[in-house]
Amino acid sequence: MNSLHISKLFIFILFFVYLTFANSYADSSKDDYLWLEFTKEDINYAGSRSFFIYYGEFPFKRKAIQDFESLESFYTFGEKDKNGRDIFYRIKIEAEEDRPYIKVSSAKENWCMLLVKYKKEIGGTIYEYLAKTSFFIFSNNKYTEQGNPADMAIGPNKFLDIRIFRERINEELTYNRIRGYPIRATLLFDNHPINNQSVDIINSQGQLQSYKTDKKGNVIYNLLIANKYINGEYEYDLILATFTSAEKIYKSTYTVFFIHGANSGEKSHYFKRTSFSHNVGMGISICIISVLITLATVLVIRKKAKI
Amino acid sequence: MRIQRVRYLVQIIFLFLLLYGGYLGLRFNNFLPFWSCPNSLDHASACYLLPLQRFQYGIDTYLKHPLPFPAYFIIQGWKAYLKFFLSLFIFIIVFNKVWCGWVCPFGTLQDGISFIRKKLGLEEIYFPEKTKHILKPIKYISLLIFMNAPFLFAFGFKLDWPLFCKICPVKSILPFSYGNTLNISVGFPPGTLFSILTCIITGFIIVALFFRERFFCILCPVSALFNFFQRISFLQLKKNIGTCNNCGNCWRVCPLDIKEVYLERKNANIIKDDCILCLKCIEACPQEGALAIKFFNKTIFTLHKRPNKVIKKSCLGGEGG
């Protein structure tokens, strides 16, 4: 092998290595999403709720968001304007230990939906990230501030929206209601349902379930959450979806917490654990009363028959 | 009483198989003739009434969303229902009501309760003829109502669940066998009314089973389903009218108190609506060959050379010996 061959081989190896890294770099954002989590201090906080904004691969690979300025955040209390559209307010994103976070305050009890937008260009492709969640702000009689300034804004348009609703799942055979937290997630792009789109649901321990939307953009499943808290932090599921249009790639998430509010238009719609809706003691008591009444009737009949 | 011992053994085997078969990985297809309450956690199969009620939803859906008939069959999966009716028909044709007396887990439970009552020395209650006539059509009415209740869905009533299963006492009693108390609880809205009704019916049935052998079989809609085809079954209970000496033993030992077996003087085929083919009548018959079980007219069970013995028993109500 002469030196020309060796150098050609060397160039080829370099090119191959470059391609591999280029691919890795391009694909490194494939599994990245933007999502929201309650801050630890939020657990016992009334009058406001605060969230960290995270970016990266949920739940364990988190990356730093370098450009805070490109983050935009909106919230709504479910109020509608005269055209029937949600009224949004802009909210300032702050930083705590280099982590962006948001604090939504309210002087009175209120249901709230929070959205965070983030745009990024990677390799000539524009990625539009959206993190969404909804929650209830409990009142705090001591809280005197009037909440965040009403900085009305036009909410984000043309985004990949995930909406959740309470759902009833029945067992296929017996039609008995399945215990747990059944919910319906609807996937919309520009308010149009997306059919046959992959939706992933991951809990904070990394357990994954994958689904495909139906014609109405719906996916119905039972929340993976077992307990309200884990290690002192709120337990939640994350719903992730990606949609590719001609110009951009849209990646959205919805953080579903244990006690949760549903989508705009359905205020204070909490998910209740259906397994708490049965009273065994009462059932057995009614059964015993029925036994005693029947027994008394039978004994009377037997006495009459003997007579 | 050897055939009865065989029957008890078969009953116990099927009781464990159908109730706990799921733990062993057994999963008989829901549309094949193996019954167990699907509300039992690890049941091996499902009660036939369930696909029957589900079948009505299919018809109801078809009525609300008409499609060309062949397309509907393919799209809506009616093949499963065809399989269900075919398997039911074949089972009844071949085995008649052997299911009731030899396999049904709830029937086995009822026999167990009667055994306890006999050991306690308590007398059974027999119904007078008038009461029997009143009780007789109940199973057919319940089969008609529960089979067709889903049609109400077409008229706007929200009945997208199996109606009979909402009140069936088997649903609450059988899962009790492994500690599942969910079906004997009061559910909060929706479903409160039916759950309370289930608890009341369960309590009533428990007492009724204690004082009247195989009481639920008198009301069971699955039995009513069998009765439509039992006359054309290959397995039949036959009486040799000439040999019968009219002693009445067959009636006295019958757990369902079927008098017609004793009274029948014309037809050889004496299998009646409530009959569970337990074969107690054949064992109690003192006349050789007077009663026999025949398959395609070939005798498969009868008693030979039995000493002449008339069975007497005391009972309350009815016309006991």
pLDDT one-digit tens code per residue, A19-62: 555 444 444 456 788 888 877 655 555 677 788 888 888 777 77
Look at residue B9 and tell me whether its pLDDT is greater than 90: yes
Inter-chain residue contact A290 with B202, CB threshold 8 Å: yes
Q: What proportion of chain B, given as a percentage, has pLDDT over 90?
A: 9
Q: What is the pLDDT of residues A244-269, one digit of tens each?
A: 888 889 999 998 876 544 343 333 33
Per-residue pLDDT at A83? 78
Residue with more model confidence, A146 or A50: A50
By the CB < 8 Å criterion, does A290 face chain B?
Answer: yes
Measured CA to CA, the distance from residue A20 to residue A28 in angstroms comes to 12
Q: Which residues of A touch B194 (CB under 8 A)?
A: none
Q: Which of B162, B191, B199 sits opposite A290 (nearest CB)?
A: B199
Residue A21 tokens, joined:
């890294």
Q: Which residues of A touch B39 (CB under 8 A)?
A: 174, 176
Write down the mean pLDDT value for chain B. 77
**pLDDT band, very low/low/confident/very high, at B315 (cuts 50, 70, 90):** very low
How far off is chain A from B140, nearest CA to CA, in Å? Answer: 22
Inter-chain residue contact B186 with A279, CB threshold 8 Å: yes
Q: Which of A176, A289, A301 sits opposite B203 (nearest CB)?
A: A289
State the average pLDDT over residues B195-223: 88
Per-residue pLDDT at A268? 35
Q: What is the pLDDT of residues B155-174, one digit of tens each?
A: 555 555 677 777 788 888 87
Look at residue A143 and tell me whether its pLDDT is greater than 90: no
pTM of the complete model: 0.64
Which residue, among A171, A172, A174, would best test binding to B if mutated, counting the most B CBs under 10 Å from its CB? A174
Measured CA to CA, the distance from residue B292 to residue B261 in angstroms comes to 12
Q: Which residues of A touch B185 (CB under 8 A)?
A: 278-280, 282-284
Contacts of the segment A247-250: beta carbons below 8 A, 24+ positions apart: A247/A126, A248/A125, A248/A126, A248/A127, A248/A128, A249/A125, A249/A126, A249/A127, A249/A128, A250/A127, A250/A128, A250/A130, A250/A159, A250/A160, A250/A189
Inter-chain residue contact B50 with A173, CB threshold 8 Å: yes
How far off is chain B from A183, nearest CA to CA, in Å? Answer: 18
Measured CA to CA, the distance from residue B11 to residue A185 in angstroms comes to 48
Q: List C-alpha distances in Å: B74 to A32, A50, B56.
A: 42, 53, 17
CA diameter of chain B: 67
Look at residue B265 and tell me whether its pLDDT is greater than 70: yes
Tokens 């009377």 identify what position?
A: A300
DSSP secondary structure letter of residue A62: E
Per-residue pLDDT at B125? 82
How far off is chain A from B16, nearest CA to CA, in Å? Answer: 21
Look at residue B81 and tell me whether its pLDDT is greater than 70: no
Per-residue pLDDT at B300? 86
Inter-chain residue contact B185 with A175, CB threshold 8 Å: no
Q: Among all residues of chain A, which has the CA nearest to that of B181?
A: A280
Q: Among all residues of chain A, which has the CA nearest to that of B211?
A: A298
Inter-chain residue contact A280 with B182, CB threshold 8 Å: yes
Q: How far apart are the first and last CA of chain A?
A: 119
Contact in structure between A134 and A262 (CB atoms under 8 Å): yes
Contact in structure between A155 and A115 (CB atoms under 8 Å): yes
State the average pLDDT over residues A127-150: 68
Inter-chain residue contact A298 with B211, CB threshold 8 Å: yes
Q: Which of A170, A176, A282 sits opposite B186 (nearest CB)?
A: A282
Per-residue pLDDT at A251? 92
**pLDDT band, very low/low/confident/very high, at A288 (cuts 50, 70, 90):** very high
Least confident window among A210-219, B63-72, B295-304: B63-72
Measured CA to CA, the distance from residue B67 to residue B75 in angstroms comes to 9
Residue with more model confidence, A242 or A307: A242
Residue A111 tokens, joined:
């249901």
Interface of B with A (CB under 8 A): 30, 38-39, 46, 50, 123, 125, 160-162, 165, 172, 181-182, 184-188, 191, 195-196, 199-204, 206-208, 211, 316-317
Q: B209 burial class (0-12, 13-18, 19+ CB within 10 angstroms)?
A: buried
Per-residue pLDDT at B311? 58
Per-residue pLDDT at A307? 55
Inter-chain residue contact A283 with B186, CB threshold 8 Å: yes
Per-residue pLDDT at A137? 75
How far off is chain B from A277, nearest CA to CA, in Å? Answer: 5
Which A residues 255-284 touch B at CB under 8 Å? 277-280, 282-284
Look at residue B73 and tell me whether its pLDDT is greater than 50: no
Q: Which residues of B touch A173 (CB under 8 A)?
A: 30, 38, 46, 50
Q: Which residues of A touch B125 (CB under 8 A)?
A: 298, 301-302, 305
Counted residue by residue, chain A has a size of 307
Q: List C-alpha distances in Å: B151 to A13, B68, B167.
A: 72, 20, 18
Write down the mean pLDDT value for chain A. 74
Which residue, among B120, B186, B314, would best test binding to A if mutated, counting the most A CBs under 10 Å from its CB? B186
Measured CA to CA, the distance from residue B62 to residue B68 in angstroms comes to 10
Per-residue pLDDT at A13? 73
State the average pLDDT over residues A80-104: 80
How far off is chain A from B202, nearest CA to CA, in Å? Answer: 6
Counted residue by residue, chain B has a size of 321
Inter-chain residue contact B203 with A288, CB threshold 8 Å: yes
How far off is chain B from A298, nearest CA to CA, in Å? Answer: 8
Look at residue A305 and tell me whether its pLDDT is greater than 60: yes
Measured CA to CA, the distance from residue B50 to residue B62 in angstroms comes to 19
Least confident window among A123-127, A184-188, A232-236, A273-277: A273-277
State the average pLDDT over residues B220-224: 85
ipTM for the complex shown: 0.78
Least confident window among A191-205, B39-53, B71-85, B114-128: B71-85
Look at residue B46 and tell me whether its pLDDT is greater than 90: no
